[in-house]
């Protein structure tokens, strides 16, 4: 296939100094030790970063803060110029729609076909099926689900669910894409294809942030790294051990 179907989806580039900013952010779950401690960083529009770190270092917690599943215990988070602590409950869904998320546990809707799962962000945005049917089908073919798009998620293998979750996250050209271990269930060939998909999306203007243990993918990409160590943020060059 020549070019990604993403190239034909609606253009939603965001123009601002930073799309995301953490200012001395900490997160504590209940009475446990801090999951994140004094995190500060900013992401420019159209940037591409990896988050690395050992299990328990805080990668998933950082992702949850960005897509507003949890609130910081201390510090300030700005998303698209908005202080997330001051966003009203009514405005929160609209802000979340601008962020695509690939979850580790997939979070697919078992009563919908693979096609309809992939199309959920477009349906929520109010688009009519005839306006996106071909693009969704081509994207599913791109991630290797051409012959599986009409089946229900419970019949899919783990790697297929992973690819479907990725398709759903990128289909609406989000302004920020968060991917938590997106290639954990994929073989090397499909991991390479998914990395190319993320790279193409990034070239179209989306800010990409990928949490991963896959140092081979990090090194191959050449992109900068935000490394977490016991809740602390350490910046590293791409692929550095």
Are residues 113 and 145 in contact, defined by beta-carbon separation less than 8 angstroms? no
Query: What are the chain's domains?
Result: 5-236 (3.40.50.300)
3-state class (DSSP) for residue 3: coil
pLDDT at position 31: 76
Distances in Å between the Cα of 28 and the Cα atoms of 84, 87, 103, 163 are: 17, 21, 21, 32
Distances in Å between the Cα of 113 and the Cα atoms of 125, 132, 156, 164 are: 19, 16, 10, 10
pLDDT at position 10: 35
The model's pLDDT over 186-196, given as tens digits with 9 standing for 90+, comes to: 888 888 888 88
The model's pLDDT over 1-31, given as tens digits with 9 standing for 90+, comes to: 444 444 443 334 434 589 999 999 999 988 7
**Distance of alpha carbon 172 from its chain centroid, rounded?**
12
Which whole number is the average pLDDT over 140-161? 95
Token representation of residue 193: 């294809």
Residues 6+ apart with CB under 8 A from 99: 66, 67, 79, 174, 175, 176, 177, 178
Are residues 4 and 200 in contact, defined by beta-carbon separation less than 8 angstroms? yes
Which whole number is the average pLDDT over 145-156? 96
Which whole number is the average pLDDT over 94-118? 94
The model's pLDDT over 125-146, given as tens digits with 9 standing for 90+, comes to: 899 999 999 999 999 999 999 9
pLDDT at position 13: 40
pLDDT at position 225: 93
Give CA–CA dist 209/99, Å, rounded: 11
What's the length of the chain?
Answer: 241
Return the minimum-mean-pLDDT range out of 85-94, 123-132, 137-146, 200-209: 85-94
The model's pLDDT over 169-178, given as tens digits with 9 standing for 90+, comes to: 999 999 999 9
pLDDT at position 14: 39
Are residues 204 and 176 in contact, defined by beta-carbon separation less than 8 angstroms? no
Which whole number is the average pLDDT over 117-122? 96
pLDDT at position 55: 87
Mean pLDDT of the chain: 88
pLDDT at position 240: 53
pLDDT for 112 beyond 70: yes
The model's pLDDT over 27-56, given as tens digits with 9 standing for 90+, comes to: 998 877 789 999 999 999 999 999 999 988
């Amino acid at each position: 296939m020549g070019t990604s179907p993403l190239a034909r989806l609606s253009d939603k580039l965001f123009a601002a100094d930073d799309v995301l900013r953490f200012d001395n952010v900490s997160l504590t779950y209940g009475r446990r030790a801090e999951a994140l401690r004094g995190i500060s960083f900013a992401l420019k529009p159209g940037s591409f970063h990896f988050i690395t770190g050992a299990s328990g270092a805080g990668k998933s917690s950082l992702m949850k803060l960005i897509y507003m599943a949890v609130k910081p215990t201390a510090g300030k988070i700005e998303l698209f110029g908005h202080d997330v602590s001051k966003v009203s409950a009514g405005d929160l869904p609209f802000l979340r729609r601008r962020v695509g998320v690939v979850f580790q546990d997939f979070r697919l809707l078992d009563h919908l076909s693979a096609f309809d799962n992939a199309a959920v962000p477009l349906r929520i945005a109010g688009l009519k099926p005839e306006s996106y049917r071909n693009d969704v089908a081509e994207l599913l073919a791109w991630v290797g689900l051409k012959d599986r798009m009409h089946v229900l998620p419970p019949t899919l293998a783990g790697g297929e669910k992973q690819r479907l979750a990725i398709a759903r996250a990128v289909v609406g050209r989000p302004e920020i894409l968060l991917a938590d271990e997106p290639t954990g269930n994929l073989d090397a060939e499909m991991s390479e294809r998914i990395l190319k998909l993320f790279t193409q999306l990034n070239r179209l203007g989306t800010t990409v942030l990928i949490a991963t243990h896959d140092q081979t993918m990090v090194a191959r990409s050449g992109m900068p790294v935000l490394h977490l160590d016991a809740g602390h943020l350490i910046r590293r060059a791409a692929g550095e051990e």
